[in-house]
Structure 1
Amino acid sequence: MVPGEPGPSWNPIIDLQLLWSFPFMVNAFRAGTIVAVLAGLIGWFMVLRRQSFAGHTVAVAGFPGAAGATLLGVAPVFGYFGFCLAAAAVIAALPRGRDAGYREESAVTGTVNAFALACGYLFIALYKGFLGGVNALLFGNFLGITDDDVLALLAVAVVALAVLAAVGRPLLFASVDPDVAAARGVPVRALSVVFLMLLGAAVAEASQITGTLLVFALLVMPAATAQRLTARPVASLALTVLIGIVATWLGLGIAYFSPYPIGFCVTTVAFAGYLLAHAARAGRFGLPRPRLAGGAT
């Protein structure tokens, strides 16, 4: 909570007006909304393709990227995108299959994960000045976003979403049933590479807001919640974006009027939504988990 500011009222409109009276909060809402949309849509495919571990590894790669950029005296954004895209490229280069391919992918992904964390702490140790932003690298910083940062995030999101829109239908087919898709001439391997590069861009963008350790708050939980509630792809995608935006806005509001970190608030709201969705499906009604065509959950 900002010192000297009043607590929340019972009127959400008044509270929003108060929040938006500060330029840094306006930028936080703008950037958070952009990231929620991009991370939600990319994350929906990531959850569907069962590549959450790969997404986590790409997110972790943002930590040494930002730390290394600081060590070199350049903007952390270059490190985020450079290392996240590089990690995505390494994972994309691995062969995929139902047997040894999956084991190899998992082993290499875990190796990249551990090595990225080690490099991050090495870069911090090599930095001779005062590095006060370690917590921001790991857990995010919504409140230091400038107008230029918002424009950069928007540009990346527009490009990434345009590419996703172009490959969305065949990517969905390849994600639900890759064997049938390949038999019908869909370039499954090429789509996998394109998707992982999009994932790297989305993670690099979201990590600047949520931090590398909390990126799943917007990348995984909204998508997992939406897929728990409905099996219809269009409805599930729309619900994912809605949940991500609501979690971001509520998290920002709670953090402003409380002493708790923003990353914790956003993550908690998103996780609470997932628990409620799980309870609604499995608790009261005892309904099975929705399944997309082809048997994917």
Structure 2
Amino acid sequence: MFEYDFMVNAFAASGIVAVLAGIVGYFLVMRGQTFAGHALSHVGFTGATGAVLLGISPIWGMIGFTLAAGVGMGALGERLAGRDVAIGVILSLALGFGLLFLHFFTAYATQVTALLFGNVLGVSASTLGVLAGLGVLSLVALAAIMRPLLFASLQPELAEAKGVSLRLVSVLFLAIAALAVAACTQIVGVLLVFTLMVGPAAAAQNLTTRLSIGLVLAAVLALVQAWVGLTLAFYTDWPTSFWITALAALVYGGSLLGRR
């Protein structure tokens, strides 16, 4: 299996993305912002299709659109009610533009399928470098805001009283989440980002209440699902995204049985 360069790239890319998705997804679940992750992936699709129409690599369009949307979602509403309204408005606008771009995108059916469902086996060395950069940047940024993020997530009223800007924390975190979503779509596609971002994190939170253990567990579960899914796809010739999704559902179901 590893005698093929495309498989080496696929394992490296899925490993980077899985660890990033597990850690960032843990905070998405903790903060009740899983809808944001779902919305960002659809916004990313709009950016990717627009980039292709302009002759630009899809990943750059996806990064640009998801990052702008993440910042917008955080800036428009840091509290639950306002946040969900902001996400809904941005998602609707993005889907409208996505429909427009698809109208001009009919000659690129293969690329559309790859964007929707992922194409980890087609990851190039240059894309792998971009994913590695996104992973490092996102994790460093997350580490930098870890303390105020935890404070704002667990005790928002007290954090605000102590001078923590909930809006700023929300903007920064959703910007990081946007980068993670853009990376995830390269592996599982726009429609299945929820699987890798939320599934392992939700399972980890079902199994432990300790933050440090939960973060590590979420990353490990995401990594195992990605690599096992990739291996099964190689030997069965079934889509990688299907296997990752099936494994995520299986692990989450098992976590409910062993819930703390």
Report the TM-score range of the alignment, normalised by the length of the smaller protein. Answer: over 0.9
- Partners of 2:223 and 2:28 in 1: CA distance: 18
CA contact (8 A) 1:221 1:274 kept: yes
Partner of 1:132: helix, strand, or coil? helix
Residue 242 (structure 2) pairs with residue 242 (structure 1) = no
CA distance, structure 2, for counterparts of residue 224 and residue 201 of structure 1: 20
Kindly provide the CA deviation profile for residues 220-273 of structure 1, in whole angstroms up to 9, marking residues without a partner as x: 011100011000000000000100000001110111111321111111111110
> How many angstroms apart in 2 are the aligned matches of 1:53 and 1:130?
29
Q: Paired residue for 2:25?
A: 43
**How far apart are the structure 1 equivalents of 2:153 and 2:129?**
32
Does the Cα contact within 8 Å between 2:114 and 2:189 map onto a contact in 1?
yes
Q: 2: CA distance between counterparts of 1:216 and 1:87?
A: 17
Question: Which structure has the larger Rg?
Answer: 1
Shift of 1:151: 1.3
Q: Corresponding residue for 2:177?
A: 199
Identity over aligned pairs, percent:
43
Q: Deviations over 1:201-227 (max 9, x none)?
A: 111111122111111121101110001
Runs of 4+ in structure 1 off by over 3 angstroms are 127-131
- Unaligned runs of 5+ residues in structure 1 are 1-18, 282-286, 288-297
For residues 41-96 of structure 1, what are the alpha-carbon distances to aligned partners after superposition, in whole Å with 9 as ceiling and x for unaligned?
Answer: 11111110000111111111111111111111111011110111121122112133
Matches within 5 A, 1:214-225: 214-225=192-203
Normalised TM-score (structure 1): 0.84
CA contact 1:124–1:131 (8 Å) conserved in 2: no
**2:126 is the counterpart of 1:144:** no
Query: Which whole-Å CA distance do the structure 2 matches of 1:51 and 1:89 have between them?
Result: 14
> CA shift at 1:126, angstroms?
1.4
2:154 paired with 1:172: no
1:84 and 2:66 are equivalent in the alignment: yes
Q: Out of 109, 112, 134, which is 2:112 matched to?
A: 134
Q: Which residue of 2 aligns with 1:227?
A: 205
CA-CA distance at 1:161 after TM superposition: 0.6
For 2:244, give the aligned amino acid: V
Alpha-carbon shift at residue 111 of structure 1 (Å):
2.8
Q: Is structure 2 residue 44 aligned with structure 1 residue 66? A: no
Q: CA deviation at 1:130?
A: 3.8
Match of 1:212 among 190, 197, 204: 190
Q: Report the structure, 1 or 2, having the larger helix content.
A: 2
**Equivalent in 236, 243, 249 of residue 265 of structure 1:** 243
Report the Cα distance in structure 1 between the residues aligned to 2:107 and 2:251, rounded to whole angstroms: 41
Q: 1:104 aligns with which of 82, 86, 91?
A: 82
What letter matches 1:61 in structure 2? Answer: V
Question: What pairs up with 1:22-41 in 2 under 5 angstroms?
Answer: 22-41=4-23
Q: Counterparts of 2:15 and 2:254 in 1: how far apart (Å)?
A: 22
- For the residues of structure 2 that align with 1:87 and 1:170, how far apart are their CA atoms? 22
**Structure 2 unmatched ranges of 5 or more:** none
Cα deviation code 1:91-142 (max 9, x no counterpart): 1121333xxxx33322331232233223223212113644421111111111
For 1:159, the equivalent position in structure 2 comes to: 137
Cα distance, 1:253–1:189 mapped onto 2, change above 3 Å: same
Letter in 2 for 1:86: A
Determine helix, strand or coil for the equivalent of 1:137.
Answer: helix
Kept after mapping to 2: 8 A contact 1:137/1:211: yes
Q: Deviation at 1:148?
A: 1.4
SS at match of 2:145: helix
TM-score where L is the length of structure 2: 0.95
Could you tell me which amino acid in structure 1 is paired with residue 110 of structure 2? G
